[in-house]
Structure 1
Amino acid sequence: MAQLSAEELGPALGRGPLSFPVTHFDNELEFDERAYRDHVGWLSEIRNCRPGYAVPIIKAGLTAVGRPSSRVRPPLTDLTEAELAELTTLVRTIA
């Protein structure tokens, strides 16, 4: 595993499909909560659409970035095609 300096860590964490939760640092490499919330607020809105939506939305997010996942198990339900299309559009917009 490569050893990264503090200056290298922020940009390194900002790469890849699962990077969005940890990429919001200011110029002093301090966590920028406002930028983080602005960036992932849409995810909370979609995730809170119905009970049990957290797992399906993460799995759908993987599909949206080209890394398909397995279906969720009952009683959970996968996103509808329309919801997946909306998520894919959002992910492409912020990526």
Structure 2
Amino acid sequence: MNKPMTKTQLVAALAEQMGADKKTATAALDGIAAIVATEVSAGGAVTLPGIGKVACRARPEREVRNPATGETLTKAADRAVKVTVAKALKDAVA
């Protein structure tokens, strides 16, 4: 199994793809990450064309079990990040 691409490798590939330097590619990547984090934490969603959709969804209060003790607890409602992969990316991988 291959190791995931590191940020350094991603920045180098992005810089080459853009025909720009690594500093510009790093700024672009960090800017996208900041925008996605801000929008999703505010409860919104961001679509990254060709990649997928990143959204925040509410999870209701639910019963959970402690596997060590078997004790049942009530977990408060919370929010979770959900990533839906774009059809174009699914088709490219298949």
Shorter-chain TM-score tier = under 0.3
TM-score, scaled to structure 2: 0.28
| Structure having greater relative contact order (Cα 8 Å, sep ≥ 6) | 2
Higher helix share: 1
Higher strand share: 2
